[in-house]
Amino acid sequence: MNELRVFCPATIANVACGFDVLGLCLDHIGDEMVVRKTDNGKLSISRIEGQDLPFEADNNVAGVAAKALLEALGSEQGFDIEIYKKIKPGSGIGSSAASSAGAVFAVNKLLGEPFSLQELIPFAMEGEKLASGALHADNVAPALLGGFSLVRSYDPLDVIKLHSPSQLYASIIHPQIEVKTADARSVLKQSVPLKKAITQWGNVGGLVSGLYTEDYDLIGRSLHDVIVEPLRSLLIPRFNQVKQAAAKAGALGSGISGSGPSIFALSKGEQTAKKVAEAMGQVYSDSGVDFDLHVSRISHKGIHPIISNTP
């Protein structure tokens, strides 16, 4: 096998209560990437469609992630990457993670899978570091593993794939505004009240329990972020109205996707998720803010090969 086309899914990090530890994988929302072996011993990016991103491998998250993998192996195999971006950078649904994770997945596959999916996470994190300055795994882990994932610990890295109920759907609205990562970070406080931290880890426990027992109501009751959302939501116009609209339309719960500005809601069943998306969209329709809407099952499989044909 000398060439592979892969689907690189979008992901939702944090998932309300699980700031910095939880993430989930979307189904058909994502990029495509073609990776092929070359004879020149170099890592090149020959084509990028859909977004204006750097072609130099050292300045592109896919290039950096792939290089980290090749260096770990001591491999001198050359690769060329084509990237077909559909996820908008800065949307908060894991655009850089899709590219980072997609590159390491495809390169690993073409090399005969020297690494497991779990082992690929640290290489993909190098791409995230280029994108945001931080080695975070809450998007690349669900992108690689599929479903829900929990980053229990970074030192040592310990990522757990959680059970994901089959009727769980996400509705996502991406308002076309820019939230700078620096702003999303600067609003965070370095210390939090113990009482709120207890509330938060009670909800993390409730959410994880709800996922395993497929208790949708418990999942809904647990989808509360009392620490980060009250601060970051101030950067997203009409956030509370979107939340209220989602709840009224039957969503289990909602929150900020990653560091925003996208807002996600989880629902039981596709029909409800569609109604919820519509209700969320209505809030911005009334305001004149442009937006994208997505509805997706939580995907059990992460990045995966697709039949090769031109996109």
As to burial, measured by CB atoms within 10 angstroms (0-12 exposed, 13-18 middle, 19+ buried), residue 12 is buried
* CA–CA gap between residue 203 and residue 220 (Å, rounded): 10
Nearer to a second copy, 18 or 175 (CB): 18
Is 191 one of the binding residues for a second copy (CB under 8 A)?
yes
- Judged by CB under 8 A, the stretch of 25-33, 94-102, 170-178, 198-206 that binds a second copy is 198-206
The answer to whether 92 touches 170, Cβ cutoff 8 Å, is: no
Active site residue 128: yes
Is 134 one of the binding residues for a second copy (CB under 8 A)?
no
Is 227 one of the binding residues for a second copy (CB under 8 A)?
yes
Q: Rg of the chain over CA atoms, in angstroms? A: 19
CA 154, 157, 162: angle at the middle one, nearest 5?
100
SS3 label, residue 41: coil
The answer to whether 265 touches 170, Cβ cutoff 8 Å, is: yes
Question: If we measure between CA atoms, which residue out of 25, 8, 4 comes closest to residue 168?
Answer: 25
Active site residue 119: no
- Judged by CB under 8 A, the stretch of 102-110, 111-119, 123-131, 216-224 that binds a second copy is 216-224
Nearer to a second copy, 204 or 265 (CB): 204
**Among 189, 288, 309, 310, interactor with a second copy by CB under 8 A:** 189
Which of the following is catalytic: 3, 38, 119, 181? 181
* CA–CA gap between residue 264 and residue 169 (Å, rounded): 10
CB of 254 to a second copy, least distance (A): 18
Nearer to a second copy, 173 or 204 (CB): 204
How many residues bind a second copy (CB under 8 A)? The answer is 41
CB of 190 to a second copy, least distance (A): 6
**Helix orientation angle between 239-248 and 270-285, rounded to the nearest 10 degrees:** 140
Nearer to a second copy, 2 or 195 (CB): 195
SS3 label, residue 253: strand
Nearer to a second copy, 220 or 260 (CB): 220
**Among 11, 91, 200, 233, interactor with a second copy by CB under 8 A:** 200
Q: DSSP string spanning 208-245?
A: HHHHHHT-HHHHHHH---SSSHHHHGGGSTTHHHHHHH
Question: If we measure between CA atoms, which residue out of 54, 50, 23, 36 comes closest to residue 125?
Answer: 23
SS3 label, residue 32: strand
Look up residue 177 and give its two tokens: 């505004």
The answer to whether 88 touches 30, Cβ cutoff 8 Å, is: no
Is 35 one of the binding residues for a second copy (CB under 8 A)?
no
Is 70 one of the binding residues for a second copy (CB under 8 A)?
no
Is 190 one of the binding residues for a second copy (CB under 8 A)?
yes
Is 142 one of the binding residues for a second copy (CB under 8 A)?
no
Cβ within 8 Å of residue 156, ≥6 positions away:
none
Is 95 one of the binding residues for a second copy (CB under 8 A)?
no
- Judged by CB under 8 A, the stretch of 121-129, 185-193, 244-252, 279-287 that binds a second copy is 185-193
**Among 187, 218, 293, 306, interactor with a second copy by CB under 8 A:** 218
**Among 1, 134, 197, 234, interactor with a second copy by CB under 8 A:** 197
- Whether the bond between 9 and the residue before it is cis, its omega within 30 degrees of 0, is no
Nearer to a second copy, 162 or 293 (CB): 162
Which residues sit at the interface with a second copy, rule CB under 8 A? Answer: 17-22, 150-153, 158, 160, 162-163, 188-195, 197-209, 212-213, 218, 221-222, 227
Which sequence positions are flagged as catalytic? Answer: 128, 181
